[in-house]
Structure formats: structure tokens, C-alpha cells
Amino acid sequence: MPDLSIVILSFNTASLTRECLESLIVPLTKSRLSSEIIIFDNHSDDQSIRTIKEFQAKQVAKKALKVKLIQSAINLGFTKGNNRAAEAATGAYFLFLNSDTVIEKIDFKKLLNFLTARSDIGALTVPVVLEDGQYDPASHRGFPTLWNSVCYFLKLEAVFGQIPILNRLFGGYHLTYLDKNSIHEIDSPTGAFFLTRSTLFKKLGGFDERYFMYGEDLDLAYRLKKIGYKTVFYPEGRVRHKKRQSGLAKEDQLTQSRTKIYFYEAMKTFYQNHYADSHPALFNAVVYKLIDLKKKLS
């Protein structure tokens, strides 16, 4: 059994996928861990397959990284694609890594040693930054309770989120009151870098396939916490996320429209899965209407 399985979903991101894969070579080699990279291609029609096979062939020739490519005959979406890839993974730990990320600084051995020593931790992430160097907000989240969501969408977090004391009240959506230079518990990381134990991932049945894309990472973190496991932010590391470049070309209006639908449907699905049973039907109906209104206004 390998120590680590890295799962990467590919969809029309040939150059991004190449950069992501190449960024893994040095940290994986230095770690001296046994590892495998599982790439699931969601029926790309660009040069992705050729790019991945070229990388795979180079690793075979060098007797270096173990790379497995799975080609799907259809686009299964983010959640199902990752689950199918995970079915082929055999590592003790699974790292779900976006194809539009670049590993800038990671000590994989240190991360796995930390997790091995802390049986109470179910998932871990590291600092994920955007192209401008700012933190990816999705990588350091609180659960979207009604209060957290109201504070975020009414911009109360933006106004008060960095003010001491007030940030604890209004900054729960992105946990703005927590020190990103220290190890601490968060509610959820982003699926762009989601490291978890394979046993727990399998125990929970993987990502919930009711989410096509968006929300599946939040949902998995919620279910991990529900069975008693923490999700931890580990500050020693850095991953760059070239966000919104995975098949989301700006000129593709149809893709943009579908993406917005997936995002807001994921909000509804998460609420239905985890919060609706605690509220009366009329209250839930109002929440769904507000989500629809937000989608129209966005």
C-alpha cells in the first residue's frame, strides 16, 4: 500500500495539468514516500490526454513517479470523477488536488507524520493562495450556518471581519478571527487541496454525488466532523490556485451559466442535507427562495 495517493481531476486543462504534475516531482521525490498519482480525465477534447501520457511516459522512463490515467467516456462532473479516481487509489492517505494548482512548497512526509500522530484529525489543508498572492477564501471556511451566510452575503464579514472581537461575531463564514500562521481547526478546506485518510473517505462513501461540482468538499468536511474528526489548517506549505481556469473560459457564456447554476444548487443541497430537518418547512422554503434570489442577482 502506498503512503499517499494524489487524485487529480482533468478536464480541458492541458497546460495547467502539465504544470500541476511537474510541480509534484520535487516534493514527492524529496519526501521518499511511496506514492501514486491517479489522474481521472473527464472526457477532455483538448490536448490533455496527450499531455498526461507524455508525463506518464517520462516518469516510467526515469523509474520515478507512478502515474495512472483513467479516461472517462463522458464528463461525470467533479464529484463523481473524483470518486471514480479514488476507487482506483490504494494509498493510506488521499490528497484531492485540483489540476489548476501548483505546489510551491510542501513537505509531504511532514504532513503525513503529523496526521499519523494525530488520530483525531480527519482532514488537512495548507495555505492555498490565488494568483495575486491573497488567500483563496474557500480554503479557510466555516460551515455556512444561517448566521454565517447572512453575514457574508450582506457584506458584514467584509466590514467587520478584521476587527478584533467583532470578527468572532461577523467573520464566521471564512473564520477571519483565526491566525493563519498557526495550526488550528477549521470547518472546511477547499477541494483544491484536501488531504484525508483513505479509511475515512471510504467509510463515508466518498464525496456525495448529489453535488455535480461545488459543495462536495464542504459536505465531506461536515460529515467528518459529525463522526468526531477535525479538519486542520497547517500553515507550513503553499499551494497556488489558478482559480476559475478549469474549463471556465470567460468567453464561454454557456459554461459560465451552468457553473453559476451548480454553485447555487450546491448551496441548496448542503442546506437540505444538513440544516433543513432542524427547521419548519415554511422557513426552509424561504431559505430556498433567498438562494434563488441571490442566484438571479449575481
What is the structure's pLDDT at 260?
A: 78
Residue type, 7: V
Cβ atoms 157, 150 nearer than 8 A: no
Q: Is 165 exposed, middle or buried (0-12, 13-18, 19+ CB in 10 A)?
A: exposed
Cβ atoms 230, 122 nearer than 8 A: yes
Domains in the chain, number: 3
Task: Please tell me whether residues 37 and 122 are part of one structural domain.
Answer: yes
Residue type, 81: G
Task: Please tell me whether residues 103 and 125 are part of one structural domain.
Answer: yes
Task: Please tell me whether residues 240 and 274 are part of one structural domain.
Answer: no
Task: Please tell me whether residues 37 and 3 are part of one structural domain.
Answer: yes
C-alpha cell recorded at residue 269: 443541497
What is the structure's pLDDT at 245?
A: 63
Instruction: Write out the residue range of the structural domain in which residue 3 sits.
Output: 1-132+178-246
Domain end, chosen from 227, 246, 265, is at 246
Task: Please tell me whether residues 168 and 198 are part of one structural domain.
Answer: no
Task: Please tell me whether residues 210 and 155 are part of one structural domain.
Answer: no
Task: Please tell me whether residues 168 and 275 are part of one structural domain.
Answer: no
Domain end, chosen from 122, 156, 174, is at 174
Work out the number of other CB atoms within 10 angstroms of the CB of residue 204.
18
Low-confidence ranges of the chain (pLDDT < 70): 244-256
pTM of the model: 0.93
What is the structure's pLDDT at 249?
A: 44
Task: Please tell me whether residues 116 and 183 are part of one structural domain.
Answer: yes
CATH of residue 228's domain is 3.90.550.10
Task: Please tell me whether residues 168 and 114 are part of one structural domain.
Answer: no
What is the structure's pLDDT at 255?
A: 62
What is the structure's pLDDT at 252?
A: 59
Q: Is 260 exposed, middle or buried (0-12, 13-18, 19+ CB in 10 A)?
A: middle
Strand partners, 39: 8, 69
C-alpha cell recorded at residue 12: 480541458
What is the structure's pLDDT at 248?
A: 47
Task: Please tell me whether residues 165 and 199 are part of one structural domain.
Answer: no
Domain end, chosen from 203, 231, 246, is at 246
Task: Please tell me whether residues 78 and 191 are part of one structural domain.
Answer: yes
Task: Please tell me whether residues 152 and 193 are part of one structural domain.
Answer: no
